Amino acid sequence: MLVDPFALLEHARRQGYAIGAYDLIDTAMLEGIIQGAERVAAPVILSLAEAHLDLFDEQALMMAVLAMAQRTPLPVAIHYDHGSSLERLERASRLGYTSLMLDASHLGWDENVAATRVAAEFAHRLGMPLEGELGYVPGEEGRDAELHPGEIRYTDPEEARAFVTETGCAWLAVSIGTVHGRFRGEPRLDFTRLRRLRETVGVPLVIHGGTGLSEDQFKELVRAGAHKINYYTALVELAGQAALGRGRWDQMRQAAVAAIAAEVARTSCLWGAAGQADAVRRFAAPWVAVEHVIYYNWSRSDPELQTMQTRGLEVLGQLPGVQRIAAGRAERADAPYQYLWTMTLANPQAMQAFRNDPRHQDYANAYFRPGAVERITIDFLHIHPQSACPTAGLAAPTPEP
Ligand SMILES: [Zn+2]
């Protein structure tokens, strides 16, 4: 089940453990991550990195991610990792993500603060936590750090405190010696720095570049104050190794899913997330979508009706937090209302932001209100979990003779 992501990481911070944010690129990884987390009853963050979006169909994969996040009893968040701009975050807010990252850590202090502040205001208005980054973790998810410019730039605790105050970001990614991808040689982690960051900053801390650390390093990392650990390279390496030598795609996929599940279960135990699912469910409110429904009749011409609907799909469908939009016409001519708008908003805060958005108001005043009569508008909370048709009672198919 999707839960309030602010509360999800706040639970980890208060209880002193770290939740895995596993970057995924397909449904095999998705299934492996959910299976592994379910095996050890760990809360989990399903994460998609912007740098990976050229590898798969994001919209299609997100439908699967949402379906599995809603179906599992585990508390889950869906995270947009390493967003590069406000425009990208706006787009992500429509696709089903429940938390967002803006990574402006390669910029100077002033630019990073300014961009992160705007992104935090945007995300928090929609009820989505914004992760900022201060300091520099070289490389990209799953790509060796050597290919990417820059030395590790460690996060200074006093600067981090000022950064969080000035930007209002909900979570902070810090640099204490990890790199994206795999290290050449032994990573040197600055645990003292992480402890001081935990004491000075007061918001959940995120570690990027978890691959290649030893069990002891991970345990020390969590004790020192990591609350969310981003994890990718090890998953794709283990999946690849498990699949090698299998001649068929179906067998390769199964082996990859199993390897990912095992690694997710292992790391969730190591980071203290295992066994926390029930406690998080009691602590964090469910994440509930809103169905915005309007019935109406039309008093003007048919061409004006068409223009109104077409413009509405274009304008409203591009607003933050609008996950789905449909314009409808009654199937029967004697129905008391002949037309329908229905939209799914990410959550009640996104609904509020949608109502107040000037683009929405301008559209409604210019196109909708002049012709729409006998309007009924109701916002419905989705009943949680947002389930599809129940399938539990399905009989097993009879085998072919
Ligand atoms: Zn990262």
Task: Look at residue 147 in the predicted model and tell me its pLDDT.
Answer: 42
Quick one: pLDDT at residue 146? 43
Residue positions annotated with a catalytic role: 81
Residue 301 has pLDDT above 90, yes or no: yes
Residue ranges with CB less than 5 Å from ion ligand 1: 208, 230
Percent of the chain with pLDDT over 90: 85
pLDDT-derived band at 247, boundaries 50, 70, 90: confident
Mean pLDDT, rounded, for 249-258: 98
pLDDT digits (tens, 9 = 90+) for 155-198: 999 999 999 999 999 999 999 988 887 766 667 899 999 999 99
For 190-208, the pLDDT digits (tens) are: 999 999 999 999 999 999 9
> Is 395 in a helix, a strand, or coil?
coil
pLDDT at residue 137 in the model: 75
Q: How far is CA 52 from CA 16, 27, 81, 224, 277, in A?
A: 30, 14, 10, 30, 28
Q: What kind and span of H or E run contains 111?
A: helix 109-125
Which pLDDT does position 218 carry in this prediction? 95
CATH 3.30.70.100 in the chain, residue ranges? 290-381
Per-residue pLDDT averaged across 330-348, rounded?
97
Give the residue-averaged pLDDT of 347-372.
Answer: 97
Mean pLDDT, the chain, as a whole number?
92
* Protein fold of 290-381: Alpha-Beta Plaits (3.30.70)
Q: How far is the CA of 179 from the centre of ligand 1 (A)?
A: 8
Contacts of 357 (CB under 8 A, 6+ apart): 319, 320
* Contact call for residues 290 and 379 (beta carbons, < 8 A): yes
Q: How far is the CA of 140 from the centre of ligand 1 (A)?
A: 6
In the chain, ranges of CATH 3.20.20.70 domains: 5-283
Q: Which CATH class is domain 5-283?
A: alpha beta
Pair of tokens at residue 158: 């006093």
Q: Cα of 141 to ligand 1 centre, how many Å?
A: 5
- Cα(first)–Cα(last) distance of the chain, in Å? 40
Q: Taken in order 342, 71, 93, 350, is the CA torsion positive or negative? A: positive
Cα of 81 vs centre of ligand 1, distance in Å, is 7
How many whole angstroms from 230 Cα to the centroid of ligand 1? 6
> Is residue 400's pLDDT more than 60?
no
Q: How many whole angstroms from 183 Cα to the centroid of ligand 1? A: 14
- Contact of 340 with 295, CB cutoff 8 Å: yes
Distance 4 CA to ligand 1 centre (A): 22
Residue 148 has pLDDT above 60, yes or no: no
For the question of whether the overall pTM of this predicted structure is more than 0.85, the answer is: yes
Cα 391 to Cα 2, 65, 106, 178, 385, distances in angstroms = 20, 18, 48, 44, 14
* pLDDT recorded at residue 379: 96
Q: Is 323 helix (H, G, I), strand (E, B) or coil?
A: strand
Question: CA–CA separation, 69 vs 55, rounded Å?
Answer: 21
